[in-house]
Amino acid sequence: MDLFSRSWTALLAAVADVPDDDFARPSGCTGWLVRDLVCHLVIDAQDVLITLATPSGAEPTADAATYWDLVDPPTGEDPLDALIPRLAAAYGEPRLLRFHLDDVGSAAGRAAGLADPSGRVGTKGKVLTAGDYLSAYVLEWTLHHLDLIAYLPPAAGPPAETLAAARAALERIAGAPLPASLSDTDALLTGTGRREPIGAEAAALAGSPAKLPLILG
């Protein structure tokens, strides 16, 4: 729960610091501008609110790792993926998009803080504890923080502890550790296909038993 709060707070602060002109820069999500990514975060925050308000009496069918599905790389043909850029553009001014994220995002953060970690929630056709659900989102927030700042140096990155937690989560999903020679940031970026491994990274990853990259959906 604490890592969820830290990762989400850091991401919201990073968005708040993005100058208006930089909302038109590319993000680390292929085909999305920064404004598109921020719009996606609004929808993510809404999903957190909806899920935490969807209790379930059933036994858990997933945990923080199996919450994620492995999918094919996006092609841009998915209706929701195509909707995001149009919806982001409809805001017109970055300040309106930033305001909406702060409004909904703050509510999602408060709801997470009030949630019973052992309570069960339903989402994506799965049942898991609220604690596992929020733990899964540490990976989501950390990856999207890296996406946000991919072309915005010298923007502040995710906290070290959430980078480490996100890497550990990715390794659980992969079923194998990623090379120790890779930093947490490099392991996350190459492990999820956000960038191609370079130099010694490629050799190290070639020897990994994990089937990479992992595209999460």
Report the candidate in 113, 7, 136, 1 with the shortest Cα–Cα distance to residue 60. Answer: 136
What pLDDT score does 156 carry? 94
Helices 2-16/94-114 angle, 10° precision: 170
Identify the pLDDT of residue 56: 98
Q: What is the pLDDT along the chain (217 residues), one digit of tens a residue?
A: 899 999 999 999 999 999 999 999 999 998 999 999 999 999 999 999 999 999 999 999 999 999 999 988 776 677 777 899 999 999 999 999 999 999 999 999 999 999 999 999 999 999 999 999 999 999 999 999 999 999 998 899 999 999 999 999 999 999 999 999 999 999 999 999 999 999 899 988 988 888 889 999 8
pLDDT for res 139: 98
Residues in Cβ contact with 93 at an 8 Å cutoff, skipping those fewer than 6 apart: 20
CB 182 within 8 A of CB 201: yes
In the chain, the domains with their CATH numbers are 2-206 (1.20.120.450)
pLDDT given for residue 75 in this prediction: 67
CA distances from 116 to 52, 132, 133, 141, 217 (A): 10, 11, 11, 20, 25
Round to whole Å and give the CA distance between 214 and 131.
Answer: 23
The reported pLDDT for the residue numbered 154 is: 87
What token pair was written down for 178? Answer: 């990623």
| Selection from 86, 92, 84, 96 nearest residue 43 by Cα | 84
